[in-house]
Amino acid sequence: MDKIKILSGTTSWELKEKICENLAVEPTKAEVSRFADGEIRIQIKENIRGCDVFIVQSTHPPSDNLMELLLLIDAALRASAKRITAVIPYFGYGRQDRKDAPRVPISAKLVANLIQCAGAHRVLTCDLHSDQIQGFFDIPVDNLYAFPVFRDYFGTLPRDKFTVVSPDVGGTNRARAFAKRLGNLPLALIDKRRPSPNMAEVMNIIGEVEKRNLLIVDDLIDTGKTVAYGAKALKDKGAKSIWVCATHGLFSGNSKDLLEESPIDKVIITNTIPIPSHKKFKKLEILDISSLLAEAIKRIHEEVSISELFV
């Protein structure tokens, strides 16, 4: 792995260490600290001139995570890196991806502009909230699916009477692909309404769920209401067991209690976002996505296909 340099901001430090372990490369030394007033101060501590640089940083709140990423990209550019890939395991601000109400921003487009203007040459990310965000960039974007990580986990479970459930209409394609790859499992769909942001209301359930083991598939869990209220409606319809898998665990507010007290049997996420101990709960299982990211980084560096990872 000649001339590869992998560094990160603070939030993705642990994930970067694991990625480097997978690739058997030393993490590149970079200092991310604060000025007295709280402003971020960055310094890359080794020569990266002419190198293929990968900067790992998820951009979940607080916005300092995004700012660290932008400053690291700028530092790498000014240090004459040959190519800079922003590795963004969780792409924050992805949910406002279109103008669906008067006088709202398209936040995902603005964030894409910022990353590109800072000097990134490519983006590697994972389970974008919507595929069209790739088009907000004018640089190559590789959007990985966490599916292989979940498949390894579910591969050990009995498939008998399992149905994959999309928690809303927008997630149907994701759930359908998941069901197909898990061996053509049946699909069900929750018709969800959002009366206001961060609220979720179940209107209808489409598909057979009675006496079945259900696997709700989503890209992220924030307040937990989508999957907790969805699970309650599924249980009321006679579901046998309910599993949830989502790539990104944000777990805002009292989501921990909501999920713990819900009829959900198990919540399975990946470590695209670090989960502090106060947000963890008994039903939660965190899968390690570092080997998938490491393999994608290796393939970008060696300029070989990434899509082959998902056949």
- DSSP state, 305? -
221/185 Cα distance (integer angstroms) = 23
- DSSP state, 171? G
264/60 Cα distance (integer angstroms) = 25
DSSP H/E element including 151: helix 147-154
- Nearest distance from residue 60's CB to ligand R5P, in Å? 12
Out of 58, 223, 271, 272, which residue is the one contacting ligand R5P (CB under 6 A)?
223
76/84 Cα distance (integer angstroms) = 7
**Cis, peptide link before residue 89, omega less than 30° from 0:** no
Out of 53, 87, 149, 221, which residue is the one contacting ligand R5P (CB under 6 A)?
221
Out of 226, 247, 270, 272, which residue is the one contacting ligand R5P (CB under 6 A)?
226
- Phi, psi angles (nearest 5°) of residue 294: -60, -45
- DSSP state, 113? H
Q: Looking at beta carbons only, is 64 or 219 nearer to ligand R5P?
A: 219
Task: Give me the long-range contacts of 137-140 (CB less than 8 A, separation at least 24).
Answer: 137/112
Q: Looking at beta carbons only, is 136 or 229 nearer to ligand R5P?
A: 229
Does residue number 50 form part of the binding site for ligand R5P (CB under 6 A)? no
Residues in contact with ligand R5P, counted by CB under 6 A, come to a total of: 15
Examine the residue annotation and report whether 279 is marked as an active-site residue of this protein. Answer: no
Give residues 161-220 in contact with ligand R5P (rule: CB under 6 A): 167-168, 170-171, 198, 200, 218-220
Q: Choose the binding region for ligand R5P from 37-45, 104-112, 221-229, 264-272 (rule: CB under 6 A).
A: 221-229
Q: Looking at beta carbons only, is 9 or 171 nearer to ligand R5P?
A: 171
- Nearest distance from residue 143's CB to ligand R5P, in Å? 15
Q: CA neighbours within 13 Å on the CB side: how many for 156?
A: 4
192, 225, 266, 279: which one is catalytic?
Answer: 192
Catalytic (active-site) positions: 192
The contact set with ligand R5P (CB under 6 A) reads 167-168, 170-171, 198, 200, 218-226
